[in-house]
Structure 1
């Protein structure tokens, strides 16, 4: 027996509460037949260790969503602390004066593979499936390679960039 769904929560209340959720700042990159693209995204998560897989949520009408779907591969770059300029660049904040978001950004990978941004922890993936949900496309990828930069990530919360501070370090600073 199916139970009726409750009415969705008010959009403004949802957005306000979600602003309090801290997340690593990630840039999704892709390259292939449709070309090289990159975009800062806020929704990234591990799906499974067997097989290793992750998901990203991309606006369904965005160039990055269309490119990932066409290229069939992507890389999730978890940006390190101090890389706010890169995050802003791939969020489109510099598009008015920089036509290529990758210009001047050091990346690894051969043409046709999803670029790994210098200094980032990266998860290179082959697209396994995509699921439309509301305005977004949930893209699940099987991880084909990992690069662990071993650096603290840049974080985003409440409309701004933050540092991830270990609990012991915060306690020591307070003393």
Structure 2
């Protein structure tokens, strides 16, 4: 067990490993953020996604400042949040590497804005980038939702991330494949 800080009046440095360990106790959904225009599209796995506001419709997620996706996203001016199903674990791992993955060979289609949507995702949100904020070693990206889609009857359960691993709802831990 990690000890709690003794005083709320004193600020002590927080160890990054300890912060990661504690935050791993919060379950999140698994998304792949896709962006780019035809001929140059990529994606990256993200679990730092959240809905911000319904009026106006805003969402945010965070990318490492050295993410290969960041310049492509800024250039395209938009992104798609793809919510993954439990059957898409291998896809989530493929997009989870230090560098974002290319969409070649991954079933996808384009929005009216030309942004890539993963065709087999549980649901998706198409967003226009409206603001960026400094988030330490990450950039916080705020997007306005301009389009969306979901299956009327979900075809599968969502993929979740909990305690450092991808899991199914109520299912066992899935250990990432070793490269």
TM-score, with structure 1 as normaliser: 0.81
| Secondary structure class of the residue paired with 1:15 | helix
Cα distance, 1:34 vs structure 2: 9.4
Task: Report if the CA contact (8 A) 2:81-2:125 is conserved.
Answer: yes
Task: Report if the CA contact (8 A) 1:38-1:90 is conserved.
Answer: yes
2:43 corresponds in structure 1 to 38
Q: Of Structure 1 and Structure 2, which has the larger fraction of its residues in helix? A: 1
Give a deviation string over 1:79-133, Cα, whole Å, max 9, x none: 111101110111138x8xxx96323211111596221112211010000100011
Are 2:111 and 1:106 aligned? Answer: no
| 65-74 vs 49-58, which moves further | 65-74
Return the alpha-carbon distance in structure 1 between the equivalents of residues 39 and 56 of structure 2. 27
Change (3 A) 1:92 1:112: farther
1:71 corresponds in structure 2 to 76
Q: What stretches of structure 1 of length at least 5 have no aligned partner?
A: 166-175
Return the alpha-carbon distance in structure 1 between the equivalents of residues 40 and 10 of structure 2. 41
Give a deviation string over 1:141-171, Cα, whole Å, max 9, x none: 0001011133421011122211124xxxxxx
The correspondence for 2:136, drawn from 130, 134, 137, is 134
Return the alpha-carbon distance in structure 2 between the equivalents of residues 129 and 104 of structure 1. 31
Task: Report if the CA contact (8 A) 2:94-2:101 is conserved.
Answer: no
Are 2:57 and 1:52 aligned? Answer: yes
Runs of 4+ residues over 4 Å off in structure 1: none
| Secondary structure class of the residue paired with 2:160 | strand
Cα distance, 1:49 vs structure 2: 0.2
